[in-house]
Amino acid sequence: MRIGFGMDVHQFSEQRELVLGGVKIPHQKGLLGHSDADVLIHSIMDAILGALALGDIGKHFPDTDMAYKDISSMKLLSKVYDIMSYNGYKVGNIDAVVAAQNPKLSPYIQQMRENIANILNTEIENISVKATTTEKLGFEGREEGVTSYCVCLLEKVIDNKKIFV
Ligand SMILES: Nc1ccn([C@@H]2O[C@H](COP(=O)(O)O)[C@@H](O)[C@H]2O)c(=O)n1
Ligand SMILES: C[C@@]1(CO)OP(=O)(O)OP(=O)(O)OC[C@H]1O
């Protein structure tokens, strides 16, 4: 078993759509980034890569590479899933918290969990997504941006062939 931790921050911009956990959320502002800036998915990818001690998303998907311009972060999560599987691990569980003063995220949490579970090929019970305001304090509280934190446990996939030969 291996543990990982990820954290990411993106700034709000009025010119962008808000995408969190692969869900397009109606809001007057979205998050700025080279990709779609899905800060929740970025923290999850960093947690998984961290558990594998394989660096971070900036190393795997540099923001200087036009291949990733405006890319859906769900596509990047799928690539991280492939890296994890190639290294012989599966998701045990994931627990994430998004710090955003607004908008209210609770109506979208279930869809986010389903989207993430589908890509990571695991049950929805293994994916926890939570939201908190920062009580109007700090940059999230001033609605300048959003932060996401994530921890994950990865489990080694047992290779029966290796056990019984
Ligand atoms: N962007 C957000 C922030 C919070 N929530 C939900 O509201 C609850 C209370 O928030 P506090 O910051 O006062 O703890 C929180 O537990 C979330 O369920 C939300 O949906 N969207
Ligand atoms: C995801 C990547 C790649 O498109 O870009 P951003 O969307 O800017 O996100 P960030 O968390 O700043 O860094 C990782 C990246 O290289």
Q: By alpha-carbon position, which residue is closest to atom 3 of ligand 1?
A: 132
Say if residue 147 is exposed, middle or buried (CB neighbours under 10 Å; 0-12, 13-18, 19+): buried
Q: Look up the domain containing 83 and give its range.
A: 2-164
Q: Give the chain's domain count.
A: 1
Cα of 148 vs centre of ligand 2, distance in Å, is 14
Indicate which CATH number applies to the domain containing 114. 3.30.1330.50
Instruction: Say how many Å lie between the first and final Cα of the chain, rounded.
Output: 23
Six token digits for residue 25: 């959320």
Q: Residue 96 in contact with residue 11, Cβ under 8 Å? A: no
Answer yes or no: is 139 a known binding residue.
yes
Instruction: Mention every residue, 6+ apart, whose C-beta is less than 8 A from residue 144.
Output: 11, 12
Q: What pTM, to 2 d.p., does this model score?
A: 0.95
pLDDT digits (tens, 9 = 90+) for 108-151: 999 999 999 999 999 999 999 999 999 999 999 999 999 999 99
Cα of 164 vs centre of ligand 2, distance in Å, is 43
* Identity of residue 47: A
pLDDT digits (tens, 9 = 90+) for 60-96: 999 999 999 999 999 999 999 999 999 999 999 999 9
Q: By alpha-carbon position, which residue is closest to atom 9 of ligand 1?
A: 132
| 65 pocket-lining for ligand 2 (C-beta < 6 Å) | no
Q: By alpha-carbon position, which residue is closest to atom 12 of ligand 2?
A: 33
